[in-house]
Chain A
Amino acid sequence: MADVTGDAETLATLDAVFREERGQVVATLIRLTGDWDLAEECTQESLAKALEHWPADGIPRKPGAWLTTTARNHALNRLRRKETEFAKLREVASLAQLKDHDDVDQSGIVDDRLRLIFTCCHPALPLDGRVALTLRTLTGLTTAEIAHAFLVSEATMSQRLVRTKRKIRDAGIPYRVPPPHLLPERVNGVLGVLYLLFNEGYAASTGEHPTRHELCAEAVYLTRTLARLMPGEPEILGLLALMLLQDSRRSARQDEAGELVLLEDQDRGRWDAAAIAEGVELLDVAMKLEAPGPYQIQAAIAACHATARTAAETDWPQIAALYTRLAQLVPSAVVELNRAVAVAMAEGPAAGLTLVEALAASGRLDGYHLLPATRAELLRRLDRRSEAAEGFREALELARNPAERNHLARRLAEVTHPRAPHSRFDGP
Chain B
Amino acid sequence: MRYLMLICGTESPDTPVDLEEDLDEDTTDWAAEMGRRGVREQGSRLRPTSTATTIRTENGELLVSDGPFAETKEQILGFDLIECADLDEAIEVASRHPVVKSLGGTIEVRPLWPT
Chain A residue at minimum C-beta to C-beta distance from B91: A124
Q: Determine the chain A residues whose CB is within 8 A of the CB of B111 once the complex forms.
A: 170-172
Q: Is the CB of A172 within 8 A of B1?
A: yes
Instruction: Name the prevailing secondary structure of the B interface residues.
Output: mixed
Task: For residue B100, give the distance in angstroms from its CB to the closest CB of chain A.
Answer: 15
Segment of B40-48, B56-64, B81-89 in the binding face = B81-89
A52 nearest CB across to chain B (Å): 39
Given contacts A170-B111, A171-B111, A172-B1, contact A182 B87 (CB under 8 A): no
Q: Tally chain A residues at the interface, Cβ within 8 Å.
A: 9
Q: How far is the CB of B106 from chain A (nearest CB, A)?
A: 14
Q: Does the CB pair B91–A172 fall under 8 Å?
A: no
The reply to whether the CB of A292 lies closer than 8 angstroms to some CB of chain B is no
From 80 to 103 in chain B, residues with beta carbon under 8 angstroms from any chain A beta carbon are 84-88, 90-91
Task: Output the least CB separation between B84 and chain A (Å).
Answer: 8
Whether A173 sits at the interface, judged by CB under 8 Å, is yes
Q: How far is the CB of A303 from chain B (nearest CB, A)?
A: 37
Output the nearest chain B residue to A122 by Cβ-Cβ distance: B87
Residues in A149-176 with C-beta less than 8 Å from chain B: 170-174
Chain A neighbourhood of B88, CB < 8 A: 173-174, 178, 182
Task: Report Cα–Cα, A122/B91, bound state, in Å.
Answer: 12
Question: Shortest CB–CB separation between residue A100 and chain B, in angstroms?
Answer: 30
Least CB distance from B107 to A in Å reads 13
Chain A 97-134 against B: per-residue CB contact (8 Å), 1 yes, 0 no? 00000000000000000000000001010000000000
**Counting chain A CB atoms within 10 Å of each CB, which of B3, B88, B111 scores highest?**
B88
Contact in complex: B91, A174 (CB < 8 Å): no
A313 to B100 CA separation, bound complex (whole angstroms): 51
B87 contact set on A, CB distance < 8 A: 122, 124, 171-174
| Residues of A close to B84: CB separation below 8 A | 172
Q: Which residues of B contact A (CB under 8 A)?
A: 1, 3, 84-88, 90-91, 111
Q: List 11 A-B contacts (CB under 8 A).
A: A170-B111, A171-B87, A171-B111, A172-B3, A172-B84, A172-B86, A172-B90, A173-B87, A174-B87, A174-B88, A178-B88
Closest 5 CB pairs of A and B: A174-B86, A172-B1, A172-B86, A172-B87, A173-B87
